[in-house]
Chains A and B, each alone.
Chain A
Amino acid sequence: MQPQPAHRSALTARPALPVSGVNGKPPIVVEELSKTYKVADREAGLGAAVKSFFKRKFKEVHAVQRVSFQIDQGEIVGFLGPNGAGKTTTLKMLSGLLYPTSGRASVLGYTPWERRAGYLRSMTLVMGQRNRLAWDVPAADSFLLNKAIYRLSDADYKRSFQELDDLLELGPIIRKPVRNLSLGERMKCELAASLLHRPSVLFLDEPTIGLDVGAQARIRAFLKEYNRRNSATVILTSHYMADVVALCERVIIIHHGMLRYDGGLNELSRRIAPYKIISVHLGGCDDCVLDAYGTVLPGEDETGKKRLQVPADQVPAITARLLAEQPVQDLTIEEPPIEDVIERAFNERAFNE
Chain B
Amino acid sequence: MNALRIIGAFLRLNVQVALAYRSEAVVQILLNLMWLGWELTSLAIIFANTNELGGWGPAELVALLGVWRLVNTMMSIIVWPNTEKFNQGLRDGSLDYTFLQPANSQFLVSVTRIELWRLWDFVIAVVLIVAGLGMSGRVATPANIATFLALTVSGAAVLYSLWIVMIAVTFWFTRFDNNVTILAALMDAGRFPAQVYPFWLRLLITFVIPIAVATTVPLQGLRGELAWWETAGFLALGVLAVWVSSRLWKAGVRRYSGASS
In the complex, which residue of chain B has the Cβ closest to the Cβ of A63?
A: B261
The answer, yes or no, to whether B52 is at the interface (CB within 8 Å) is no
In the complex, which residue of chain B has the Cβ closest to the Cβ of A124?
A: B100
B16 and A120 contacting across the interface, CB-CB below 8 Å = no
Most buried by A among B5, B9, B259, B260: B9
B100 and A144 contacting across the interface, CB-CB below 8 Å = no
B100 and A96 contacting across the interface, CB-CB below 8 Å = yes
A145 and B257 contacting across the interface, CB-CB below 8 Å = no
The answer, yes or no, to whether B6 is at the interface (CB within 8 Å) is yes
Chain A residues near B2 (CB-CB < 8 A): 148, 151
A127 and B261 contacting across the interface, CB-CB below 8 Å = no
A141 and B12 contacting across the interface, CB-CB below 8 Å = yes
B99 and A127 contacting across the interface, CB-CB below 8 Å = no
B257 and A141 contacting across the interface, CB-CB below 8 Å = no
Q: With the chains together, A134 CA to B260 CA distance in Å?
A: 24
Q: With the chains together, A149 CA to B94 CA distance in Å?
A: 16
The answer, yes or no, to whether A125 is at the interface (CB within 8 Å) is yes
The answer, yes or no, to whether B103 is at the interface (CB within 8 Å) is yes
Out of B13, B17, B99, name the residue touching A97 (CB < 8 Å): B99
Chain B residues near A291 (CB-CB < 8 A): none
Q: How far is the CB of B207 from chain A (nearest CB, A)?
A: 31
B261 and A37 contacting across the interface, CB-CB below 8 Å = yes
Residues of chain B in range 98-145 having any CB-CB distance to chain A below 8 Å: 99-103, 108
A141 and B13 contacting across the interface, CB-CB below 8 Å = yes
Q: A115-B100, A150-B102 known; A136 and B9 CB under 8 Å?
A: no
The answer, yes or no, to whether A104 is at the interface (CB within 8 Å) is no
Q: With the chains together, A177 CA to B19 CA distance in Å?
A: 13
Out of B99, B101, B260, name the residue touching A149 (CB < 8 Å): B101
A127 and B9 contacting across the interface, CB-CB below 8 Å = no
Could you mark each residue 1-34 of chain B with 1 if its beta carbon is under 8 Å from any beta carbon of chain A, else 0?
0100110111011001100100000000000000
Chain B residues near A147 (CB-CB < 8 A): 9
In the complex, which residue of chain A has the Cβ closest to the Cβ of B17?
A: A136
The answer, yes or no, to whether A117 is at the interface (CB within 8 Å) is yes
In the complex, which residue of chain A has the Cβ closest to the Cβ of B20?
A: A136
B94 and A132 contacting across the interface, CB-CB below 8 Å = yes
Q: A120-B102, A141-B13, A141-B16 known; A130 and B258 CB under 8 Å?
A: no
Chain B residues near A97 (CB-CB < 8 A): 96, 99-100, 257
B100 and A89 contacting across the interface, CB-CB below 8 Å = no
In the complex, which residue of chain B has the Cβ closest to the Cβ of A119?
A: B102
Q: With the chains together, A259 CA to B131 CA distance in Å?
A: 72
Q: With the chains together, A137 CA to B12 CA distance in Å?
A: 10
B257 and A113 contacting across the interface, CB-CB below 8 Å = yes
The answer, yes or no, to whether B93 is at the interface (CB within 8 Å) is yes
Q: With the chains together, A145 CA to B12 CA distance in Å?
A: 9
The answer, yes or no, to whether A98 is at the interface (CB within 8 Å) is yes
Chain A residues near B261 (CB-CB < 8 A): 37, 63, 89
B9 and A144 contacting across the interface, CB-CB below 8 Å = yes
Q: With the chains together, A146 CA to B16 CA distance in Å?
A: 17
Q: With the chains together, A98 CA to B178 CA distance in Å?
A: 25
How many B residues touch A, CB cutoff 8 Å?
28
Out of B97, B101, B102, name the residue touching A130 (CB < 8 Å): B97
Chain A residues near B259 (CB-CB < 8 A): 37-38
Q: With the chains together, A141 CA to B260 CA distance in Å?
A: 30
Could you mark each residue 134-173 of chain A with 1 if its beta carbon is under 8 Å from any beta carbon of chain B, else 0?
1011100110110111110000000000000000000000
In the complex, which residue of chain A has the Cβ closest to the Cβ of B112?
A: A134
Chain B residues near A115 (CB-CB < 8 A): 99-100
Q: With the chains together, A121 CA to B100 CA distance in Å?
A: 9
Chain A residues near B102 (CB-CB < 8 A): 117, 120-121, 149-151
Residues of chain B in range 246-261 having any CB-CB distance to chain A below 8 Å: 254, 257-261
In the complex, which residue of chain B has the Cβ closest to the Cβ of A123?
A: B100
Q: With the chains together, A144 CA to B9 CA distance in Å?
A: 7
Q: With the chains together, A63 CA to B20 CA distance in Å?
A: 44
B92 and A131 contacting across the interface, CB-CB below 8 Å = yes
The answer, yes or no, to whether A34 is at the interface (CB within 8 Å) is no
Q: With the chains together, A151 CA to B254 CA distance in Å?
A: 25
Chain A residues near B94 (CB-CB < 8 A): 130-132
The answer, yes or no, to whether A99 is at the interface (CB within 8 Å) is yes
Q: With the chains together, A149 CA to B8 CA distance in Å?
A: 11
Out of B12, B257, B258, name the residue touching A144 (CB < 8 Å): B12
Chain B residues near A208 (CB-CB < 8 A): none
B6 and A134 contacting across the interface, CB-CB below 8 Å = no
Q: Can you list the 6 inter-chain pairs with the closest CB atoms, starting with the nearest? A: A120-B102, A145-B9, A117-B102, A148-B9, A148-B5, A137-B16
**Residues in A lying within 8 Å of B, measured CB to CB:** 37-38, 63, 89, 92, 95-99, 113, 115, 117, 120-121, 125, 127, 129-132, 134, 136-138, 141-142, 144-145, 147-151, 177
**Residues in B lying within 8 Å of A, measured CB to CB:** 2, 5-6, 8-10, 12-13, 16-17, 20, 92-94, 96-97, 99-103, 108, 254, 257-261
With contacts A117-B102, A136-B16, A145-B12 known, what are 16 further pairs, Cβ within 8 A?
A: A38-B259, A63-B261, A96-B99, A98-B258, A113-B257, A115-B100, A127-B93, A130-B92, A130-B96, A131-B92, A136-B20, A137-B20, A141-B9, A141-B13, A145-B9, A150-B102
Some 6 contacts from A to B, beta carbons below 8 A apart, are: A98-B258, A99-B258, A130-B93, A130-B96, A136-B20, A149-B101
